[in-house]
Amino acid sequence: MNWGHKITIVIISFIVIMLSMVFVAFKQTNEMIENNYYDREIKYQSMIDAAANLNSLSSDSVIIQNTNNLEVQIPKNLVKEFTKGKIEFVKNDDEKKDQLITFAPDVNGSFSINKAKFSSGAYTAKIEWTSGSKSYYREQKIIIKL
């Protein structure tokens, strides 16, 4: 085989590799974790204040994973004036599996969510609620195992 054939093989190999990389790149999905990212950034200081409100009361986890349920546990002293709460479960690798759940705790400050609503994997739980005139917020990483 002469040097002309070798150069032709190298060039054809290079073209095949580049085309396969382009094909793989077009198959990639580049989803943002949040659709309304800029709106949330504007409200970020209020989230920092709400997180500080909760951190001054408790540093414990708000969501505890049991065998069949996720237990949301808020401090008992915030239950009396509780007005509204929501939890946003953001699946880090699949936007279609995100969940938004509104909640109201019982008198002990707990609320139960069935794990069957979710698929296995890593989630970021963003818990927000209002009690009295203050807002409370916590982000918690959860790996749901079914």
Digit-coded pLDDT (tens) for 10-52: 999 999 999 999 999 988 876 665 667 677 677 778 888 888 8
pLDDT in tens, 85-114: 999 999 878 888 898 999 989 888 889 999
**Alpha carbon distances (Å) from 26 to 20, 21, 30, 101:** 10, 9, 10, 34
Q: Determine the structural domain holding residue 7 and report its residue range.
A: 1-30
54 and 72 assigned to the same domain: yes
Same domain for 58 and 73, yes or no, is yes
Residues 68 and 110 in one domain: yes
Residue 19, H or E segment: helix 3-27
* Sheet strands side by side (includes 110-114): 63-65, 69-73, 110-114
| Calpha distance 62→54 (Å, rounded) | 10
CB 101 within 8 A of CB 86: yes
Q: What are residue 128's phi and psi, to 5 degrees?
A: -130, 140
